[in-house]
Chain A
Amino acid sequence: MTREIADEEVVTQYGNSQTDPVFRTRPDPESPTPRAMSATVGRLTPAAIAKLVRGYERPAGDLARYARVGDLRQAGFEVRHTPSNRNPGHVSIEWPADWDDTVAERFDRCYGESNG
């Protein structure tokens, strides 16, 4: 069941210090959502977001970072609740056109420091 996501809510993005980039800032153009990035609603620990995405915790390098939904919307992104069976809190952060470097930087600036 989808619900409205309020501006005051926080979303968590999952990253890993051993990957390049540590946090993705643009969608895979070949994915079914070439204009949207994933996040999960709530302030989750790296272990909790890892469990939702991978199904298990990765021992080293897992990171999480957080953005306020109102900040993402103010920057021009649409934030929608798009749950899946495995991740009921999944949200899509969509840009209305193709993502270029400017959009990627704009997206990146909405997030704070990472928590590992």
Chain B
Amino acid sequence: MADTIQIERWHRPWAPASDARLVETLNYYDRPLIGIIEQHGVKHLFRCVGGHIEPHHVWIYTCVTGSEADALVRTNDPEKLEALIGEFFAQGPVAVAAADDADGVWGSTIIDAFTVEELRTGYDRIIREFHQYLKSKQKEAAASHPLSTSASS
């Protein structure tokens, strides 16, 4: 089985653990959106799949070989790069992480999917849990605000 990335809470999605580092950036817009991370000598391809310019975002990760990573770095044609990225993610397993600007990665799960349905189920689960977390965070923030009682009643 391929190595899966070990993700720790509260780290940035492009370096999602204390021992993970960003080694290549393939797309950037105010933050790395597609790139390659190295952890324990193993390379992992990552990409943002939702919330690219928003405060809450979703990321996916999959292990790639050294030669696959080299192929990604050498590919400058955006369409060919998309095709290659899609091919590598289709090999699975895929880690999915949910994050926000303030706290970094909140949670993650590994989806060792063989069907689109399995992938969708795993993805939906982490998104649902992430929404619950964001709601509870908003409630906490409102409760600590002096005007919250009158505003929410």
Contacts and interface: CB of A to CB of B under 8 A. Distances in A.
B31 to A, nearest CB: 4
B91 interface: no
B81 A86 contact: yes
Interface residues of A, number: 25
A15 B34 contact: no
B63 interface: no
Contacts of B75: 85
Interface residues of B, number: 26
B53 A86 contact: no
14 contacts: A14-B53, A16-B54, A19-B53, A19-B54, A24-B53, A30-B12, A31-B31, A52-B78, A53-B29, A53-B52, A84-B25, A86-B27, A86-B33, A87-B29
Interface of A: 14-16, 19-20, 24, 27-28, 30-33, 37-38, 52-55, 82, 84-88, 90
Interface of B: 12, 14, 22, 25-34, 52-55, 72-73, 75-76, 78, 81-82, 101, 104
